[in-house]
Amino acid sequence: MTDSTSTPPASLASRSWWGWGAAAQALPDAECTALGALVPGSASTPLPVPDIAHLELPRVRVEPPPALAPLMSAAPEDRAAHTYGKAYRDVVRALNGDLSAAPDQVAHPRTEQDVVDILGWAADEDVAVVPYGAGSSVVGGVEYREDRHRGVVSLDLSRLDRVLEIDRVSRAARIQAGALGPALEAQLRPHGLTLRHFPQSFEFSTLGGWLATRAGGHYATLYTHIDDLVESLRVVTPVGINESLRLPGSGAGPSPDRLFLGSEGTLGVITEAWMRLQDRPRHKASATVLFGDIHAAMDAVRAIAQSGLHPANCRLLDPGEAALAGVARDGESVLVLGVESAHSPVGERLAELVTLARDHGGSPTPTGPGTEDAAAGTWRSAFLRMPYLRDALARMSVVTETFETACTWDRAPDLYETVRRRLGDVVREVTGAAGTVNCRFTHVYPDGPAPYFTVIAPGRRGDEVAMWDEIKSEAMRILTDHGATVTHHHAVGRDHRPGYDRQRPEPFAHALRAVKQALDPAGILNPGVLVDPAAAG
Ligand SMILES: Cc1cc2nc3c(=O)[nH]c(=O)nc-3n(C[C@H](O)[C@H](O)[C@H](O)COP(=O)(O)OP(=O)(O)OC[C@H]3O[C@@H](n4cnc5c(N)ncnc54)[C@H](O)[C@@H]3O)c2cc1C
């Protein structure tokens, strides 16, 4: 392996420690106040962003041995920035200066051997290790919540950020796990290649994080999850390095890669992967179709998902979501369609998709097929700005968060209506205000959609996290009742454990505990996520 000795990418140095993305892009106080005014009942002034220098961090309980000391930091800025992920409840707790979950040390391995050494030391010293890509988890994936260990190290992989090798013939690349989306794509671009995996968190999340959480990219059909792009994985486990063969496909028993995909840092540290690449698309077109009836729109999307036309984008925004993004009139649902190809023009395919939508009662906006559509562009910029707006609303004590799922088409309309109705009631009970519960379909499959819900309601200052937890727990109950998954792409982490424990079959849970025991016998890797040690049940 070629070892990386790079310094942290510039984008990480300027990252917000408490909220999303680049610190400089956080909304100023006046804009927070103006935004808060759009949510009647919210606070009139923004919560101040605390100065880390004035915050109390827990005492550092463990010190690294001299050989590892150069890789570790117990600086308050590092510990604060690695305390939480980027869920709403993380942002609110950070804004409130609650850093009680801060790790004792933050490790920045420069080589794979550093990872091996850190895990060896941690197992001997009973120190928990929480693998950390860019900390964009929204499910408590990087926050230690136990008290079973002598200390906690956040293992930040961001210095392992290189594309190490490109196999042009097989169209694949060997990439280190700590590479952020933009750095990874920048290294592939000169070769005319792309991984073509663009989660909304693309700028501030890593390949290793995507693999460990089975992330979902932007594209609505075909290769939705990162899983399908993996050729082989290299994983440092506490009992040795697991490297799978590079293969385009294989029927040789259960897949070793599938064991580690979605393992969320509990079974090993992914250090690199051979990833399948694609030629960069040269032909693109998008269109927007309006629907007066959300159920007709769902039927259209189902027809499209089952048509074999595989649009790159097929986002259905319900009326609330479309209004929020500023792309429709009152009461209208919006379907944003996009097609791409590296090889041939896509106008005809887009026209076929638009016809299918029209056949189900949709009205295409005037822009003709074959061009980039204005509403699609507006939606895209709103989409990328959304996390910064979420943080601004959080500062105004607005309860604002999302949850996502997937279910089969036969259940989708009822799930949509039930979530909107029942969760709407719960939002009213918990916050005392109507609030909004909106939905978009982020990914669609021939047998079902992945609905993604957004809740916005005024909160009570100081109670925001408790209020959201109550709303979320009802949301999880509704999903379970409908046979829908606790997550389509946000992962399990710590927040989805109760629902995940109910969802997975017991023999599988038993096997997972045994795997955990075999690969991580000291139980140091990301404790509390996915599965508890065998003895703990
Ligand atoms: C604004 C916003 C938008 C988002 N949009 C999307 C989206 O479109 N699609 C989507 O799927 N998710 C999305 N997410 C969630 C999040 O970005 C993903 O879960 C992402 O895959 C996490 O990557 P990361 O590098 O930040 O990992 P982290 O948050 O650092 O870690 C996530 C989990 O993976 C483990 N882990 C990280 N790196 C490694 C490694 N090298 N080896 C082993 N375990 C590791 C961690 O221990 C943790 O359990 C979004 C989050 C936010 C805040």
DSSP run (H or E) holding 176: strand 172-176
Given this model, what pLDDT does residue 251 score? Answer: 96
Q: Are residues 463 and 523 in the same domain?
A: no
Domain check: are 136 and 190 in the same one? yes
Q: Is the CB of 134 under 6 A from ligand 1?
A: yes
Q: 400: Cβ below 6 Å to ligand 1?
A: no
> Is residue 291 domain-shared with residue 325, that is, in the same domain?
yes
- Across the range 479-497, mean pLDDT stands at 97
pLDDT per position as a tens digit, 525-536: 999 999 986 554
Same domain, 268 and 289: no
What pLDDT shows up at residue 4? 38
Q: What is the per-residue pLDDT across 364-382, written as a single tens digit (0 to 9) for each?
A: 997 644 445 666 666 667 7
325 shares its domain with 387:
yes
The predicted pLDDT at position 324 comes to 84
How far is the centre of ligand 1, averaged over its atoms, from the C-alpha of 320 (Å)?
27
Q: pLDDT per residue over 290-329, tens digit each? A: 999 999 999 999 999 999 999 999 999 999 999 988 888 8
Residue 180 Cα to ligand 1 midpoint, Å, equals 11
**Ligand 1 closest atom vs CA 265:** 44
Tell me which of 213, 234, 259, 495 to substitute to probe ligand 1's pocket, judged by most ligand atoms within 8 Å of the beta carbon.
213
pLDDT at position 3 is 35
Q: Residue 51 burial by CB count (10 A; 0-12/13-18/19+): exposed, middle or buried?
A: exposed
Give the span between the Cα atoms of 45 and 397, in whole angstroms.
9
Contact 531, 511 (CB under 8 A): no
Residue nearest to atom 19 of ligand 1 (CA): 137
Looking up residue 450, the CATH number of its domain turns out to be: 3.40.462.40
519 lines ligand 1 (CB under 6 A): no
3-class SS letters over 466-512: HHHHHHHHHHHHHHHHCCCCCCCCCCCCCCCHHHHHHHCCHHHHHHH
> Which atom of ligand 1 is nearest to 198's Cα?
8
pLDDT score of 254: 96
Cα(349) to centroid(ligand 1), Å? 33
Name the pTM for this structure.
0.96
Q: What's the pLDDT at 329?
A: 83
Looking at ligand 1, which atom is closest to the CA of residue 225?
11
What percent of the chain has a predicted confidence (pLDDT) above 90? 91
Pocket of ligand 1 contains residue 206 by CB under 6 Å: yes
For residues 259 and 287, membership in a common domain is answered with: no
Distance CA 118, CA 64 (A): 9
Ligand 1 center–CA 185 separation, angstroms: 17
For residue range 201-231, what is the model confidence (pLDDT) as tens digits? 999 999 999 999 999 999 999 999 999 999 9
Query: Which residues contact residue 59 at a Cβ distance below 8 angstroms, ignoring those fewer than 6 apart?
Result: none
Question: Between the CA atoms of 51, 469, 269 and 201, what dihedral angle is there, to the nearest 10 degrees?
Answer: -70
Residues 527 and 429 in one domain: no
Residue 455 has pLDDT above 60, yes or no: yes
Radius of gyration from C-alpha coordinates of the chain: 23
Same domain, residue pair 242 and 162 = yes
DSSP H or E stretch at residue 428: helix 424-431
Residues 54-87: tens digit of each pLDDT: 999 999 999 999 999 999 999 999 999 999 999 9
Identify the domain containing residue 83 by its residue range.
Answer: 61-280+504-537
382 CA to centre of ligand 1 in angstroms? 21
| Contact 530 CB / ligand 1 (< 6 Å) | no
- Tokens standing for residue 404: 């996502």
Helical axes 294-305 vs 347-359, angle rounded to 10°: 140
